[in-house]
Structure 1
Amino acid sequence: MVQDSRTRTDRDYTRHDNDTGRWDDDPLSVETTRRFARRFTTVNRILLGLGVFGFVCALLIDRRRGGAGPDPEHPSGFVAWVLYAVVLGILLATELLGPLKRPVARRIRQRCAALSAIVTLICLLGLSAVWTTVYRTSSMGEIPGTIVNSVPEADAYLSGHLADGVGTIRVPTGMSIQSIDFGDDSSNVRISGFVWQKIPHGAPIRPGVLFPEAEDAYTAADSAAPAYTEQTPGHTLYGWYFSSIFRQLFDYSSYPLDKQAVWLRMWAADFDAPAILVPDFDGYPTWRLHDMTGVDPGMVYDDWNPDFTAFSYQTNTYSATFGYQRDGVADSAAKPELYFSAGLKRDPQAPFFGQLIRWMFIAVIVFAALFLITVDTERRALVGFTTFELVGFGVGILLVIIFDQVAIRESVGARGVVYLEYFSYALYAMIALVGVNAMLLTGRTRHRWLIWGGNLLPKILYWPTYFGLVLLVTVLTFR
């Protein structure tokens, strides 16, 4: 029965080839397609079986370690699960669709085109899942030190990190941000707002807050006139207005899905005083991280969306005694330092709609150029296709992409490669592959995999390859 079935299949291929002619200008197309179909189906089923087995094993191992499988709250692990799902989806779609099962040329073309569209859609769904997960994740991991959300949390942290006799005087300190403006330099941000202190009566300290990263570190010290003061039974309130450029190393590698935590480090004006700055939670309503407490409600965020505000402590060590005649590091340098952080998420709509849509049109034009590449010499002369003209076309497209890429780097000011640039690199690869495809077809040596179906493989692999490259880079960037 197996021999009869195989002979009948061969007869079907041969009959179709004789009835309709050589559909891909290759006299060995029928035999080649039949052999390739068997190998292709066998390999795909093996990979599908291994993929399902690996997916189940990974899920069991994750459960045993206490994980919950694909969890959008943990982007690094979720991105890996998305990649697994995309690979399995592609293998399953290939098995179900079976583009080479029927020996009819038209059916092969239709099913190959349908499989290409399905694989492209799966890659796009994977990209959307990763983008959504990454954007929803907060940038709280960029906050320096340990977050404190209340007076008891601050007291608990300080009790475990203060040396004996240090920080005996607690100075409540608050912050209200009026504006945040990222400058042209990728390491500069201009911040303005108010900072206040409540100095206990009789405390042997002078009022003032120092910003070590500011251009003018003494903007809010006693050398500057307070914006307001108030006497109360227990303390004296001092408030200063400040506006300065702060130096901070920002990471733009995931642009336009980057998130930044803009932080202000604060020191007491008395460098060696027995005082420690503590958050003045009494100066705010009930503190909630994502309510943007401590930020002017009317603040203009430009290209950013608000995420959170938080106080935190971090103990920094320095390789100097600051002139004090003591062994090791100065006591004041070993104290926990107070930080106020504001988290911002970049609004990705402008970069995505501005750059990606333009690059998608370019990708469509490059894809359309594939249909001008033909193995038929008469049709080639009719459409005016030559390798030189295709190379010139590719160079013109490359210049447009390069100008866009330079504009991105100038607007962001990043030092390394940013995520959005990988879309242009994928386009570079596709343009190069289309050029190589044209040169191979016009060369003296004919490759069967190229002339099969009239240059069918490059056409059906174009979009899956492009979005597959983008998805792979996305997974590597956000894993």
Structure 2
Amino acid sequence: MVPALSSYPVINPKAKPGVAQDIVVGVWDLNDSFFEYKFNSYNTNFGLANIGPKIDYPELHFTMILQRSFLGVFISRVGPQIVVITLLFAILLIATSENSMEVLGACGGFVFIVILDQITFREQIVSKGLVFLEYFYFLIYLYIFLIAINAIMLLFPSTFPIVKYKENLVSKLSSWPTLTVLLLVITILIFG
């Protein structure tokens, strides 16, 4: 089969020849489509008796270049992470020695929420290694752990004077700057 390339008014890849205008590709954006030759070698003669194995045999391929829509992934993945971190900060703000056990219970609930969100994230991507957004989950786990440790320290304020100082002011003031610096360090380590 040979496509009639002359029947396409424009074969520029940006014009997306060979693709219906109303094609549905889900969360993906169709950038280009084009025909190209790829050279393959085969160790068979495809049933033709007088011809040997095909070496560098040209094949015409139709290629579509798709790119995942960034905004949808950002909203569906980073949005819930920001909400969880903000709620954890709110829990840190209201944490006292009287409600430390409730803070620990809330931290346990958040661990469950983040684990489920990370599992659905891993199911949606096709990468064997860790991707950049997955490091945010590990940072949230650390944040939950530190808030739980802080709640335990609030139970023993005489043993840990840092939480006694102005009703846990050091933890409250250092929460967002520490989180931001850790995000920056992760970004530099991955992309730097």
Change (3 A) 1:297 1:433: same
Determine which of 348, 352, 359 is the counterpart of 2:70.
348
8 Å contact from structure 1 (residues 394, 435) kept in 2: yes
Q: Distance in 2 between matches of 1:468 and 1:309?
A: 42
1:441 is displaced (CA, Å) by 4.3
**Which residue does 1:308 correspond to in 2?**
32
1:366 is displaced (CA, Å) by 0.7
Change (3 A) 1:469 1:331: farther
8 Å contact from structure 1 (residues 373, 438) kept in 2: yes
**Which residue does 1:390 correspond to in 2?**
103
Please give the secondary structure, in 2, of the residue aligned with 1:362. helix
Q: Distance in 2 between matches of 1:355 and 1:392?
A: 24
**Which residue does 1:399 correspond to in 2?**
112
Does residue 2 of structure 2 align to residue 197 of structure 1? yes
After superposition, the C-alpha distances for 1:345-401 in whole angstroms (9 at most, x for unaligned) are 222333333343333222111101222345xxxxx3xxx322x33222111111122
Q: Distance in 2 between matches of 1:418 and 1:333?
A: 39
Could you list the runs of 5+ residues in structure 2 that have no partner in the other structure?
47-51
Identity of aligned residues (%): 28
Please give the secondary structure, in 2, of the residue aligned with 1:310. strand
Q: Distance in 2 between matches of 1:291 and 1:452?
A: 66
Q: Distance in 2 between matches of 1:335 and 1:475?
A: 45
Q: How many residues are paired up?
A: 186
After superposition, the C-alpha distances for 1:70-109 in whole angstroms (9 at most, x for unaligned) are xxxxxxxxxxxxxxxxxxxxxxxxxxxxxxxxxxxxxxxx
Instruction: Work out which of the two has the higher radius of gyration on C-alpha atoms and give 1 or 2.
Output: 1
Q: What TM-score, normalized by structure 1, do the two folds share? A: 0.34
Q: Distance in 1 between matches of 2:151 and 2:145?
A: 10
**Which residue does 1:105 correspond to in 2?**
none
RMSD value over aligned CA atoms?
3.3
Higher strand share: 1
1:411 is displaced (CA, Å) by 4.0
Determine which of 295, 300, 304 is the counterpart of 2:19.
295
Does residue 127 of structure 2 align to residue 322 of structure 1? no
8 Å contact from structure 1 (residues 427, 466) kept in 2: no
Change (3 A) 1:446 1:476: closer
Please give the secondary structure, in 1, of the residue aligned with 2:82. helix
Change (3 A) 1:477 1:446: closer
**Which residue does 2:49 correspond to in 1?**
none
Q: Give the letter aligned to residue 21 of structure 2.
A: P
Q: What TM-score, normalized by structure 2, do the two folds share? A: 0.74
Q: Distance in 1 between matches of 2:16 and 2:182?
A: 38
Change (3 A) 1:296 1:467: farther
Please give the secondary structure, in 2, of the residue aligned with 1:440. helix
Does residue 167 of structure 2 align to residue 445 of structure 1? no
Change (3 A) 1:310 1:395: same
Could you list the runs of 5+ residues in structure 1 that have no partner in the other structure?
1-195, 199-279, 325-329, 375-379
Does residue 24 of structure 2 align to residue 283 of structure 1? no
8 Å contact from structure 2 (residues 41, 54) kept in 1: no
1:323 is displaced (CA, Å) by 7.3
Higher helix share: 2
Q: Distance in 1 between matches of 2:66 and 2:179?
A: 31
Does residue 85 of structure 2 align to residue 363 of structure 1? yes
